[in-house]
Chain A
Amino acid sequence: MASTTTTVRSAGPFTGSRSFISRLRDGDEIARLVTFIFAGSVVLITLLLVYELWRESYLPRHKFGFGFFVTSVWDPVFDKFGALPFIYGTVVTAGVALLIAVPLGIGAAIFLAELAPARISDTLQFFIDLLAAVPSVIYGLLGVFVVIPMMRQYIQPALKSSLGFLPLFQGPAYGVGFLTAGIVLAIMVIPYIISVSREVLISVPRDQREAALALGATRWESTWKVVLPFARTGIMGSIFLALARALGETMAVTMVIGNTPTISASLFSPGYSIAAVIANEFTEATGDLYLQSLIELGLVLFLLTFLLNGLARLLIVVTSQRGSGMGQA
């Protein structure tokens, strides 16, 4: 959108030197002021939120310092708190989710952007947008009653018997655990990867594809070797967006991950994530150090998602601009 706003000065002599009060009687100034207050409140609220998170976590920050991030003990009885199991769980489940969702998502996006006729592409995208609207707790509901039994009865034993030599797939098959949470998260983030990647792929200029085809490439080769690399940064952006969503997910994860602060090489092991432990223990954290440690975890999560979202948007914007600007390969 290239429209710029035009500011209209009120007509009349000495416009620059009118006093604030007399300008205020002019409806425009009031409108400007009022809307500015609303816009400013957004900034204020956000600042307040960050400030509260920082302020309410000073106890563990001073007591544990950076040790907080590398300690794996979470012991409310002896007042020792370490974030490592939760960071581990958050990262592992998000990693598993991306491993599953990225190939599927990009594959689907390629289909929608390159192959499907526009109407089918739009219809399918419509359904995928609906998938993105399903709330977390519903995924959790299905996780508890569908995914967990399936994992415990079929998938985990199958993985164990075929790939059980890997430390990844060892240990008893509880049904809950890192792998289950990762799978549920994968389903939740696929729509984000698909919609953003599809947009980005569509914005790749046609002459890129046509040049490749003219040189004798097959449809797939033109997609894989020309279009995708062109859209690479935007697709990376979609992955970061998906990652940010996966990291912050609370309900679906806490219903399927097992709620145990464990660090284990096995994906079958139960674990914990930052969001899940806050949800479970916040209302009952007696003692300031306990409560503030939870808040510090919240701060960590916030910073992580903040960084990722920022990176994501940067990457997406860069790709779209490249695409709509001069199409240099």
Chain B
Amino acid sequence: MSHRLRWRKFVSHFMLTMTGLCALVAVAVLFFILGYLVYHGGTSVSWNFFTKLPAPVGEAGGGMANAIVGSAKLLLLATLLGVPIGFFGAIYLAEFSGGTIAFVVRYAADLLNGVPSIVIGIFAYSLVVLPFKHFSTLAGGFALGLMMIPITLRSTEEFLRAVPRALREGAMALGASRWKTIASVVVPAAYRGILTAILLAFARVAGETAPLLFTALGNRFWSPGWGQPTASLPVMIFTYAIAPYDDWHRQAWAAGLVLLGLILIINIVARVILSRGVAVPRT
């Protein structure tokens, strides 16, 4: 073997090992994050954390019960806003529309998707907070819902399109009208993908903080109804992390663990559902 060839082979092995290292580093970061959160947050997650309200500043022993419920309410609103628009909009794109309108809608959705979350916060502030003169769960849910729309729309459209034409045409050959075909054949055929899309969009906005800073603001108590400011997990993590109190730091770790755990579980579940196959499900 010539020297040159030996060198080239060495370079090849070396570089390829390096790429392996890169991949390892990327994955290692994930496990590091998880491990750190489990280590620090695990010790602070307690019954208090889940059931108590925040204590006055400087006193120990508070919890994040209101933040957990607040996040739940915000996400509920977001889903109620984002999923129908994304879902039905996608049906329009996949089943009914012509080329130009589809292009415009997709373009708008991509635009919306790319808007930085803080700018969505500004939008929600001027659209919901100012007119109603209230920071509210509604405004926060609106902001989060806006962020769910593009993800749901694009993914649902893709999965609807992936349903084979034969299924549609079979149904219509049997006399079903367009909408009946969609409702009872196409959508059920794509339901795994659609569910995945919704879950992923949900997980994405569950961790968003910036848009909540000036919409839902925060609350030290329970937030009654939908028109009052509300605490939320991500905002509490932010507030507590930059503060000097050690007790707050511990609670921030615990909240981080709970939040990340929730998001990761949803992601894993969504991907497992998807990988089980996108064909027609057995009823």
Evaluate contact between A306 and B116: CB separation under 8 angstroms: no
Tell me how many residues of B have a C-beta within 8 Å of chain A.
99
Query: In residues 181-237 of chain B, which contact A (Cβ within 8 Å)?
Result: 182, 200, 203-204, 206-210, 213-214, 234, 237
Q: Which residues of B contact A282 (CB under 8 A)?
A: 121-122, 125, 213-214
Q: How far is the CB of B30 from chain A (nearest CB, A)?
A: 4
Q: Which residues of A contact B92 (CB under 8 A)?
A: 32, 35-36, 38-39
Q: Which residues of B contact A218 (CB under 8 A)?
A: 8-9, 11-12
- Select one of A26, A39, A108 contacting B93, CB under 8 A: A39
- The CA of A34 and the CA of B268, in the complex, are separated in Å by 33
Count chain B CB atoms within 10 A of each CB in A128, A251, A301, A309 and give the residue with the most.
Answer: A251
Evaluate contact between B242 and A191: CB separation under 8 angstroms: no
| Closest B residue by C-beta to A47 | B108
A270 within 8 A of B: no
Evaluate contact between A135 and B116: CB separation under 8 angstroms: no
A129 within 8 A of B: yes
- The CA of A6 and the CA of B162, in the complex, are separated in Å by 14
B3 within 8 A of A: no
Query: In residues 219-264 of chain B, which contact A (Cβ within 8 Å)?
Result: 234, 237-238, 241-242, 249, 252-253, 256, 259-260, 263-264
A328 within 8 A of B: no
A118 within 8 A of B: no
Evaluate contact between A35 and B91: CB separation under 8 angstroms: yes
- The CA of A35 and the CA of B150, in the complex, are separated in Å by 15
Q: Which residues of A contact B13 (CB under 8 A)?
A: 220
A321 within 8 A of B: no
Contact segment of A49-57, A72-80, A150-158, A162-170: A49-57
- The CA of A191 and the CA of B25, in the complex, are separated in Å by 11
Q: How far is the CB of A10 from chain B (nearest CB, A)?
A: 8
Mark each residue of chain A from 16 to 38: 1 if its CB lies under 8 Å from any CB of chain B, else 0. 00000000001110111011101
> Beyond A137-B238, A250-B116, A309-B114, is A127–B27 a contact (Cβ under 8 Å)?
yes
Contact segment of A60-68, A140-148, A202-210, A261-269: A140-148
Contact segment of B47-55, B59-67, B82-90: B82-90
Q: Which residues of B contact A318 (CB under 8 A)?
A: none
- The CA of A136 and the CA of B259, in the complex, are separated in Å by 11
Q: How far is the CB of A99 from chain B (nearest CB, A)?
A: 14
- Select one of A8, A127, A306 contacting B111, CB under 8 A: A306
> Beyond A1-B162, A35-B89, A135-B207, is A298–B118 a contact (Cβ under 8 Å)?
yes
- Select one of A7, A39, A279, A302 contacting B105, CB under 8 A: A39
- The CA of A135 and the CA of B23, in the complex, are separated in Å by 21
- Select one of B150, B182, B252 contacting A141, CB under 8 A: B252
Contact sample, A vs B, 8 pairs, CB 8 Å cutoff? A39-B97, A43-B108, A47-B108, A56-B126, A137-B241, A142-B33, A145-B241, A221-B12
- The CA of A127 and the CA of B31, in the complex, are separated in Å by 9
Does more than half of chain A's interface fall in helix, strand or loop, or is it mixed? helix
A235 within 8 A of B: no
Q: Which residues of B contact A8 (CB under 8 A)?
A: 172, 178
Q: Which residues of A contact B95 (CB under 8 A)?
A: 5, 35
| Closest B residue by C-beta to A127 | B27
Evaluate contact between A53 and B122: CB separation under 8 angstroms: yes
Evaluate contact between A115 and B20: CB separation under 8 angstroms: yes
Q: How far is the CB of A260 from chain B (nearest CB, A)?
A: 15
Evaluate contact between B16 and A219: CB separation under 8 angstroms: yes
- The CA of A278 and the CA of B125, in the complex, are separated in Å by 13
| Closest B residue by C-beta to A115 | B16
The 4 closest A-B pairs by CB, nearest first: A135-B207, A248-B116, A107-B22, A35-B92
Q: Which residues of B contact A114 (CB under 8 A)?
A: 16, 19
Q: Which residues of A contact B204 (CB under 8 A)?
A: 133
Evaluate contact between A309 and B110: CB separation under 8 angstroms: yes
- The CA of A279 and the CA of B114, in the complex, are separated in Å by 18
- The CA of A183 and the CA of B234, in the complex, are separated in Å by 22
Mark each residue of chain A from 245 to 261: 1 if its CB lies under 8 Å from any CB of chain B, else 0. 00111110001000000
Q: Which residues of A contact B29 (CB under 8 A)?
A: 131, 187, 190
Query: In residues 1-25 of chain B, which contact A (Cβ within 8 Å)?
Result: 8-9, 11-13, 15-16, 18-23, 25
Count chain B CB atoms within 10 A of each CB in A110, A130, A248, A301 and give the residue with the most.
Answer: A130
- The CA of A136 and the CA of B234, in the complex, are separated in Å by 9
Evaluate contact between B96 and A5: CB separation under 8 angstroms: yes
- The CA of A208 and the CA of B110, in the complex, are separated in Å by 33
B26 within 8 A of A: yes
Q: How far is the CB of A152 from chain B (nearest CB, A)?
A: 16
- Select one of B9, B115, B237 contacting A137, CB under 8 A: B237
- The CA of A305 and the CA of B111, in the complex, are separated in Å by 9
A211 within 8 A of B: no
Q: Which residues of B contact A219 (CB under 8 A)?
A: 12, 16
- The CA of A279 and the CA of B209, in the complex, are separated in Å by 10
> Beyond A127-B30, A134-B207, A279-B213, is A108–B19 a contact (Cβ under 8 Å)?
yes
- The CA of A30 and the CA of B88, in the complex, are separated in Å by 12
- Select one of B8, B25, B91, B207 contacting A138, CB under 8 A: B207
- The CA of A228 and the CA of B95, in the complex, are separated in Å by 38
- The CA of A38 and the CA of B18, in the complex, are separated in Å by 49
Q: Which residues of B contact A50 (CB under 8 A)?
A: 111
B168 within 8 A of A: yes
| Closest B residue by C-beta to A32 | B96
- Select one of A110, A187, A302 contacting B115, CB under 8 A: A302
Q: Which residues of A contact B121 (CB under 8 A)?
A: 282
Mark each residue of chain A from 100 to 143: 1 if its CB lies under 8 Å from any CB of chain B, else 0. 00011101101110111000000010111111011111101110
